[in-house]
Amino acid sequence: MLNLSDSEKKVLIAWAIVGIIILLIVLVFGLNQNRTKKEEIQDITASGTNYVIDRNRYYTVKNAITKFYSFINSKNNDAVLKILAEKYVKENNIKEDNLNEFIPDSEVVLSYESKKMCLKSVNKGVMTFVSEGSEISANTGAYVKDIYYEVVLDGNTSLFSVEPINKKIFEEVCNE
């Protein structure tokens, strides 16, 4: 084998100990990071359900839908098209000339009042939520109709998209 002096053996042992310590630190950090992600999801939703209880997330999603309605009310079709989910736009072949068929009636100034919200999925910084709410006439405060949306928040790029969905999809996600 190798003929090492006592001082060389001590240096070799010291390096081995340093290597083991670094390996342990990397392992502990990696495990803690996975635990933090699981805790983050649990902090967003109520225990045992996927109902959103984190006020920051709730109001972020609600504000995304409110912004969508503000663009509809101001008849800014270009902005509405950019906010609508790309998949939804392609599937329905939505263009500026037929956009009014797919968005709420813009003859009345509308606002959105969220009732329930559920977390649908989390994937690499992208969170998908579904929301049940009511369209309200902004002028009179009168109830117009119940409406459901899927909102995707991309935490990596700080972008969002909105897609109208039906009640059945909302109920499936929220386990109702």
- Residue 81's nearest CA partner among 63, 95, 61, 97 is 95
> In the chain, what percentage of residues exceed pLDDT 70?
87
User: 108 to each of 75, 79, 105, 136, 160, how far by Cα in Å?
Assistant: 11, 19, 7, 10, 25
- Residue range 32-56, pLDDT digits in tens: 555 545 445 556 766 667 788 888 8
Cβ-based neighbours of 39, under 8 Å, separated by 6 or more = none
- pTM reported for the whole predicted model: 0.72
Question: Phi, psi (5° rounding) for residue 106?
Answer: -95, 10
